[in-house]
Amino acid sequence: MKNDCVLIEGLTIVTTIGVYDWEKNIKQKLVLDLEMQWDNTQAGLHDDVAFCLDYAKVTNVVENYVKSRQFGLIERVAEEVAQLIINDFGVPCVRVKVSKPSAIPSAQNVAVMIQRCR
């Protein structure tokens, strides 16, 4: 496998996230960056979408998944999104960054980043 990647950056999703009682009753913004290992050779050589990783479908699946659940930790969001992408799209490796910009008032952002492979 080559070291090619497909990136989805700045995917903003509003969902229920947090461990405190007050957070369990509101929606908050998460920002996801996804880096998915994918061999782009055939798509590049043939200019054919059939060889591409369908990033629109990945986006829809991830958005629907995160919006439809309640999470305590951004670490859990990262783990579940990574497994979802690996299982549903056959991606051999994925790096997931989950940011929660409102977590610390005096910080611009708080995030976790993980990499998972089959």
Q: Where in the sequence numbering do the catalytic residues fall?
A: 100
- Contact yes or no for 95/115 (Cβ under 8 A): yes
Whether 68 and 36 have beta carbons less than 8 Å apart is answered as no
Side-chain half-sphere CA neighbours of 66 within 13 A: 31
